[in-house]
């Protein structure tokens, strides 16, 4: 089946947070992590069917939706789950904050690596817990975990929770099994819980790489892991506010539910319908999407490579390019300079990394080409640092 991922759909003047972020009609926004593609036909059909029912009261997860999620996790990862393991959430960010609220003492600390998706940095602050940042190592073509530094922080008596992101946002890394095993072993050794953001698990771009859920490493690891997932990123359903946590351990699940009380309420009824359709019926659309994202990623990579002084890691997953702009003499923070010149990119400082930007290439080819043209024209006149 042919899907037109290069159709430009007008999103200005709608409810789009991304496209309404600037009143200038010539401004091109490429920051917020949603895609500019129409959802899969099967998802649209499921939503139309739900609308036609005409009654939109409070909803619980229907058994067939639970089964669809279970089938997906087993089909893709060989992960056998039980219905009682699922906690339904209105978003991944909610899950991060609930996990931090589980910590019993105000002195209990949350460990994470940087750069990282901004809510990882905010959730400990919002819940009154110290945050320990461990900067990733910027190696030739990718980021690496500084294992000794990470263990030193996990060994701290106050460290109680590790916020993990795999596939990584913004670095685009897919953790290998040996990395997952090593990280799990460190958390076990130092009795640290794991909250694993795996929302980009269906956006692995390299054919020879496979996402490995942290909780599948071993039963012992599963017993200390909260896994956060959703079809929202890979199927462009973020506005439906539907995600879930997988928590096999009964005590950990009860603690999570206790912390969620009064905060997490019933979910959007359309999220259940769209989630089931995505996992059961939208495979061909998703396969085509991955091909388009590979093409788009390669175009971004070629553009960055043609601008000496810039660097980006190899993007193995997601539709987000993380670009180090410190090798060019920007007159101000790069993201602000891009904004002033008509191109909206995510601020690196929000991820804990000044001098970087994040570029969303989940868009039709004409939009990407225009974004890359502007990017090139903005950067090219700037002198190189120490050139």
The predicted structure's pLDDT at residue 329: 97
Q: Taking residues 348-359, report their average pLDDT.
A: 98
- Asked if 75 contacts 240 with a C-beta cutoff of 8 angstroms, the reply is no
Mean pLDDT of the chain: 97
Within 10 Å of residue 378's Cβ, how many Cβ atoms?
19
pLDDT digits (tens, 9 = 90+) for 7-43: 999 999 999 999 998 889 999 999 999 999 999 999 9
CA–CA distances in Å: residue 151 to residues 113, 116, 261: 12, 18, 33
Question: How many domains, in total, are found in the chain?
Answer: 2
Within 10 Å of residue 251's Cβ, how many Cβ atoms?
9
Both 302 and 373 in a single domain? Answer: yes
Q: Taking residues 356-367, report their average pLDDT.
A: 98
The predicted structure's pLDDT at residue 386: 83
- As a three-state string, the secondary structure of 47-103 is HHHHHHHCCCCCCCCCHHHHHHHHHHHHHHHCCCCCHHHEEEECCHHHHHHHHHHCC
Both 296 and 236 in a single domain? Answer: no
Q: Is the pLDDT of residue 1 over 80?
A: no
Short-list 229, 263, 280, 226, CA closest to 46:
280
pLDDT digits (tens, 9 = 90+) for 202-223: 999 999 999 999 999 999 999 9
The predicted structure's pLDDT at residue 27: 97
pLDDT digits (tens, 9 = 90+) for 45-100: 999 999 999 999 999 999 999 999 999 999 999 999 999 999 999 999 999 999 99
CA–CA distances in Å: residue 117 to residues 61, 124, 133, 347, 365: 28, 13, 13, 11, 26
Both 111 and 237 in a single domain? Answer: yes
The predicted structure's pLDDT at residue 336: 97
pLDDT digits (tens, 9 = 90+) for 191-205: 999 999 999 999 999
> CATH number, domain at 154?
3.40.640.10
Q: Which domain holds residue 250?
A: 55-281
Cβ neighbors of 67 (< 8 A, separation 6 or more) are none
Both 149 and 191 in a single domain? Answer: yes
pTM: 0.97
pLDDT digits (tens, 9 = 90+) for 232-262: 999 999 999 999 999 999 999 999 999 999 9
pLDDT digits (tens, 9 = 90+) for 269-327: 999 999 999 999 999 999 999 999 999 999 999 999 999 999 999 999 999 999 999 99
Q: pLDDT class for 265, splitting at 50, 70, 90?
A: confident
Both 289 and 267 in a single domain? Answer: no
Both 204 and 327 in a single domain? Answer: no
Both 101 and 200 in a single domain? Answer: yes
The predicted structure's pLDDT at residue 387: 61
């Amino acid at each position: 089946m042919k899907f037109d991922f290069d159709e430009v759909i007008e999103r200005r003047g709608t409810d789009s947070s991304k496209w309404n972020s600037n009143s200038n009609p010539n401004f091109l926004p490429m920051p917020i992590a949603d895609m500019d593609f129409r959802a899969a036909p099967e998802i649209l059909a499921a939503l139309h069917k739900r609308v036609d029912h005409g009654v939109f009261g409070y909803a619980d997860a229907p058994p067939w939706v639970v089964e669809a999620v279970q089938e997906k996790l087993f089909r893709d990862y060989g992960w056998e789950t039980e219905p009682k393991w699922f906690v339904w959430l209105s978003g991944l960010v909610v899950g991060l904050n609930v996990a931090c609220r589980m910590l019993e003492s105000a002195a209990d600390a949350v460990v994470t690596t940087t750069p990282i998706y901004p809510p990882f940095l905010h959730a400990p602050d919002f819940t009154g817990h110290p945050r320990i940042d461990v900067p990733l190592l910027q190696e030739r073509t990718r980021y690496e975990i500084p294992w000794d530094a990470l263990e030193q922080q996990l060994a701290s008596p106050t460290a109680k929770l590790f916020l993990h992101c795999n596939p990584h946002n913004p670095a685009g890394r897919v953790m290998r099994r040996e990395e997952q095993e090593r990280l799990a072993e460190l958390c076990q050794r130092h009795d640290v819980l794991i909250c694993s953001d795996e929302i980009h698990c269906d956006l692995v771009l390299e054919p020879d790489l496979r996402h490995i859920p942290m909780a599948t490493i071993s039963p012992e690891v599963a017993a200390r892991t909260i896994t956060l997932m959703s079809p929202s990123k890979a199927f462009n359903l973020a506005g439906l506010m539907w995600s879930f946590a997988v928590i096999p351990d009964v005590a950990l699940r009860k603690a999570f539910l206790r912390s969620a009380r009064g905060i997490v309420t019933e979910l959007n009824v359309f999220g259940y319908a769209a989630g089931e359709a995505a996992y059961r019926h939208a495979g061909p659309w998703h396969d085509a999407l991955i091909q388009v994202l590979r093409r788009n990623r390669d175009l971004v990579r070629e553009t960055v490579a043609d601008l000496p002084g810039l660097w980006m890691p190899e993007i193995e997953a997601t539709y987000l390019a993380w670009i180090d702009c410190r090798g060019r003499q920007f007159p101000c923070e790069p993201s602000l300079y891009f904004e002033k010149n008509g191109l909206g990119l995510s601020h690196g400082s929000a991820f804990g990394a000044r001098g970087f930007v994040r570029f969303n290439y989940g868009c039709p080819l004409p939009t990407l080409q225009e974004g890359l043209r502007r990017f090139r024209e903005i950067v090219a006149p700037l002198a190189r640092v120490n050139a």
